[in-house]
Chains A and B, each alone.
Chain A
């Protein structure tokens, strides 16, 4: 934690350097962790409205884009520069089309991969990573897969371009029987890696969704579920927590017992039952369902805080002055608990997003609109991990990691705002 804090602290402007006591930049709310986290969350939140201006969101619908196209920064994708690769692919296609192999394995790796052309590629694609994984031991992870393949395919090649190196093998696939054929299939699939398509910067997946569009549509939506659910849950929690802590007696007993019981129940398990019966879960319904399980934690938290605050001087003062219970609760106590409540809120948003994503990853999410969790579900059910199509599951995971890390940083930052001891410690260390 300390390193990240220091990194952020050095980049943060005034508050660290100036040590003036009554500096207006000295507010505890200018916590670097909190602000960084807020920035990360806002970034994802704004992906939708801003991205809409630059990118066509309708590409996130199935079959709107070619299938299984890797992103341009994938290994081997346009590594030798765009133009020559296109030519190499062209020559590969010219040479392979006469042979039977090419016709069978989808050798028409046309640089302008249209929707129908992409369709035929799916047949050859599952085979594609297998030769690499077997021969190169996962050369997809590091380095250029084409370069890795070159030595195995023999040294009779002329050009330095790995794609050129592949071309004769693909053409001469008729001579050696099985292995050559498999290599040709691999070559045809790799040829697609050379297809420069800035039309799909993050690649596409098996049902022809453009991953960038999916990201733009899905990421804010996943975040929205969390925000709605946490807001409702937080509202219930704060009200119940205040009521329990302030009223005491049997009300307190009932609320505490209930929250103690519900907090033990595994949320995801119950949600799975709901999801299994209610086949089509809309985003809003999902958020409300999640909220039903998010209130116990804030309730406990707020209740404990209220109990400790109830006997403080300023609360007694307000009571003696004849303030109503309502104004004591929300006028006197609430402002003092704001950082606590906010920390609990960000934690809840994170928990709600996690629960929603988990449901979606199990295939129980909204199917009509792309969300990040559903994308991961599709990727897993299409064995994208073992096919090496890391962009398919990697991009939604990356987006979720940004969201989760951002919320996590916010929670930690808010904890420091609420608990000066953590802050003081950091400054000393």
Chain B
């Protein structure tokens, strides 16, 4: 922990702010660079539905004033960034009275739960498999079996999700195809509810785990090969240490570090992939909410969710970065 200097912490927090600021800026710019006016678009949809909207010009102006769109860009921009940082994401366009942050907060636990568990499992499993693949003492049977688990590496989460639904939900009927919990169950810490939640989470979690496991395994294999050639491994063997001790505390311990870096880098991709998994499984998390926002052209909802995704990803990366010196005590951040 000696490596965790104030300088480093401040730098990382600065990066965190920069990322979030970039994210909000992009989200702010896109609608204004895109052709067409969202408000006019909403009104024209209303017109298409009801045939005629009275005083549509007035309505447009009122809405523009309501959302602050009549102000000059810089003012809008500052208001937007400040509001975003205060988690004031505005009202949902499609379900007007409800606020975006409330909708996101309702959906967030499902996503975080699913993603956290799935990523942890896949990280642990993948790294173990990768380490075993590179290790000389791995029994030949396991050694030949392991690469099979990596065949799914290149398949995206959602495609695996479709296959899993087809086989296990449609074909074998072992697991439900969609949703996160059975009907008629009271939420709380009672067993039927928890069991139902777990039962529903199996397929989406499996899709994420299987599809992302190989990524970790491959990286780990490469690192273990490098580590195996190090002098301290030979010394550990010469000392007559138990193979399991050499494997875990000498091999894996030293190879895992770049994997944590890879985790911080791939977090954005995992989040994006999970959006699709939730969509495929109709899992009521943030990703599914995002899909509903797309379907209903709920721009504030889409922007709010994307801001939340950027925010959470950046925060997780920050946490991982701050934890990094704990995992790797050798690193000091005195310089750079």
Give me the interface of A with B, judged by CB distance under 8 Å: 1-4, 133, 137-138, 140-141, 257, 260-270, 272-278, 297, 350-351, 354-355, 357-358, 361-364, 376, 380, 385-386, 388, 390, 393, 397, 400-401, 404-405, 407-408, 412, 415, 419, 421-422, 425, 429
Chain A residues closer than 8 Å to B143, beta-carbon distance: 2, 429
| Subset of 7 A-B contacts with CB under 8 Å | A137-B173, A265-B268, A268-B271, A276-B293, A361-B158, A363-B294, A421-B229
- Minimum CB–CB distance for B148 against chain A, Å: 7
B19 at the interface (CB under 8 A from A): yes
A257, A264, A274, A363: most-surrounded residue (chain B CB, <10 A) = A264
| B251 part of interface (Cβ distance < 8 Å) | no
Q: Mark B21-42, 1 if CB is under 8 A from A, else 0.
A: 0110011001100111010000
* CB neighbours of B27 from chain A (8 A): 270, 273
B162 touches A260 (CB 8 A): no
B150, B158, B265: the one contacting A358 at CB < 8 Å is B158
B267 within 8 Å of A (CB atoms): yes
CB contacts (< 8 Å) of B22 on chain A: these are: 261-262, 265
B: which residues have CB within 8 A of A? 15, 18-19, 22-23, 26-27, 30-31, 34-36, 38, 133-134, 143-144, 147-148, 150, 153-156, 158-159, 162-163, 165-167, 170-173, 177, 218, 221-222, 225-226, 229, 264-265, 267-269, 271-273, 275-276, 279-280, 290-291, 293-295, 297, 299, 302-303, 305-306, 309-310, 313-314, 317
Top 7 closest A-B pairs, CB basis?
A: A268-B272, A138-B171, A408-B154, A277-B34, A404-B154, A141-B171, A266-B268
B170 contact set on A, CB distance < 8 A: 133, 138, 141, 385-386, 388
By a CB distance below 8 angstroms, the chain A residues around B133 are: 1-2
Residues on B with C-beta less than 8 A from A425 are 134, 225
User: Which of A263, A276, A412, A415 has the largest number of chain B CB atoms within 10 A?
Assistant: A276
Which of B30, B147, B177 touches A386 (beta carbons < 8 Å)? B177
How far is B173's CA from A140's CA once the two chains are assembled, in angstroms? 13
A97 to B20, CA, bound (A): 66
Whether the Cβ atoms of B294 and A362 lie closer than 8 Å is: yes
**CA A323 – CA B36 in complex, angstroms?**
52
Given contacts A412-B218, A425-B134, contact A266 B144 (CB under 8 A): no
CB-based A-B contact count at 8 angstroms: 179
Q: B314 to chain A: which residues have CB within 8 Å?
A: 264-265
The one of B165, B268, B273 in contact with A385, judged by C-beta atoms closer than 8 angstroms, is B165
A-side contacts of B172, CB under 8 Å: 137-138, 141
A272 & B290 in contact (Cβ 8 Å cutoff)? yes
Measured between C-beta atoms, what is the minimum distance from A254 to chain B in Å? 11
Within 8 Å CB of B38, what residues of A?
277
A415 to B171, CA, bound (A): 39
Given contacts A272-B306, A277-B34, A397-B162, contact A261 B177 (CB under 8 A): no
Complex: A306 Cα to B332 Cα, angstroms: 23
Which residues of B sit under 8 angstroms from A263, Cβ to Cβ? 265, 268
Please indicate the chain A residues that have their CB under 8 angstroms from the CB of B134 in the complex.
Answer: 425
Taking A401-B154, A415-B222 as given, write out 5 further A-B residue pairs in contact, using a Cβ cutoff of 8 Å, ordered by the A residue number: A2-B133, A266-B310, A270-B26, A270-B306, A362-B294
State the CA gap A401–B171 with chains docked (Å): 21
- The residues of B that contact A141 with a CB separation of less than 8 Å are 166-167, 170-172
List, in ascending order, chain B residues with CB within 8 A of A261's CB: 15, 18-19, 22
With contact pairs A2-B143, A272-B294, A408-B154 given, residues A266 and B162 touching in the complex (Cβ less than 8 Å)? no
Complex CA gap A225/B237 in Å reads 51
B272 touches A266 (CB 8 A): yes
- Cβ contacts under 8 Å, A133 to chain B: 170, 173
Q: Closest Cβ of chain B: how far from A229's Cβ, in Å? A: 15
Q: Which residues of A contact B150 (CB under 8 A)?
A: 1
CA distance A396 to B147 in the complex (A): 25
Contacts of B19 in A (CB 8 A): 261-262, 264-265
Chain B min CB distance to A25 (Å) = 25
Q: A265-B268, A266-B268 are in contact. Are A364 and B163 (CB under 8 A)?
A: no
**Judging by beta carbons under 8 Å apart, are B34 and A274 in contact?**
yes
State the CA gap A265–B294 with chains docked (Å).
19
CB < 8 Å neighbour of B159 from A400, A415, A419: A400
For residue A297, which residues in chain B have a CB less than 8 angstroms away from its CB? 265
CB-defined contacts of A278 to chain B, threshold 8 Å: 34-35
CA separation between A404 and B155, bound complex, in Å? 7
Q: Which residue of A lies closest to B314 (CB)?
A: A264
| B304: min CB distance to chain A, Å | 10
Q: From B27, which residue of chain A is reached at the shortest CB distance?
A: A273
B166 touches A385 (CB 8 A): yes
Q: Which residues of A contact B221 (CB under 8 A)?
A: 1
Q: A138-B170, A266-B268, A412-B218 are in contact. Are A3 and B147 (CB under 8 A)?
A: yes
* Shortest CB distance B13–A (Å): 13
